[in-house]
């Protein structure tokens, strides 16, 4: 079951959903609009290795915007910090973004109950397109869960994306592999 605008507001009042900053004009019928933060990152190396840390180059989007290029994966970040303690958040791109040929996530559209952070966006495009910090980029949809939770994301010892940040976070897949001796 998807939460409606009224249920999202009730969950915010109870502290079950946190959105900072919260702007009432961003609340839709059954979603909340999120915005592109001011930072983007690209991987330094063209060939990435899942077993190794792949460093990124971070840069700030200026007032003139930034032109995304096809064939490059950009890591972006939402302006909004969110917490979700009783439902599963899904992040989807806004239709207006899709109509510009922009995808905001490759695979990571679902958050876990207990996720508490900004959202790193996996941005790609089909043709060059200029983007701007602060532009609406996605919407959060909240699904109710059934049953008790034993393992909240923000309390997991092995959670890789728990450190609060306002910058995109590169893949931590390498942490899933044992250290070579």
Catalytic residues: 122
Cα distances (angstroms) measured from residue 61 to each of 98, 112, 123, 133, 135: 20, 29, 14, 6, 11
Give the E-state strand segments of the chain in sequence order: 17-20, 32-35, 39-43, 56-60, 66-68, 74-77, 81-84, 87-93, 102-103, 116-117, 120-125, 129-131, 136-144
| Cis-peptide, bond into residue 127, ω within 30° of zero | no
Residue recorded with tokens 């009783």: 86
Instruction: List CB contacts of 38: < 8 A, sequence separation 6 or more.
Output: 60, 61, 79, 133, 134
């Amino acid at each position: 079951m998807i939460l409606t605008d009224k249920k999202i507001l009730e969950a915010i009042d109870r502290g079950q959903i946190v959105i900072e900053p919260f702007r009432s004009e961003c609340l839709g019928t059954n979603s909340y609009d999120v915005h592109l933060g001011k930072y983007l990152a690209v991987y330094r190396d063209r060939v990435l290795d899942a077993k190794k840390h792949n460093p990124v180059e971070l840069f700030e989007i200026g007032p003139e915007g930034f032109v995304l290029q096809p064939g490059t994966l950009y890591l972006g970040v939402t302006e909004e910090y969110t917490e979700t303690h009783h439902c599963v958040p899904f992040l989807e791109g806004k239709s207006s973004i899709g109509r510009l040929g922009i995808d905001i996530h490759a695979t990571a559209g679902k958050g876990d109950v207990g996720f508490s952070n900004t959202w790193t966006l996996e941005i790609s495009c089909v043709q060059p397109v200029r983007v701007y910090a602060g532009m609406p980029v996605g919407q959060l949809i909240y699904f109710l869960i059934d049953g008790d939770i034993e393992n909240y994301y923000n309390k997991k010892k092995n959670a890789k994306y728990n450190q609060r940040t306002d910058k995109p976070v590169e893949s931590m897949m390498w942490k899933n592999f044992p250290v070579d001796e």
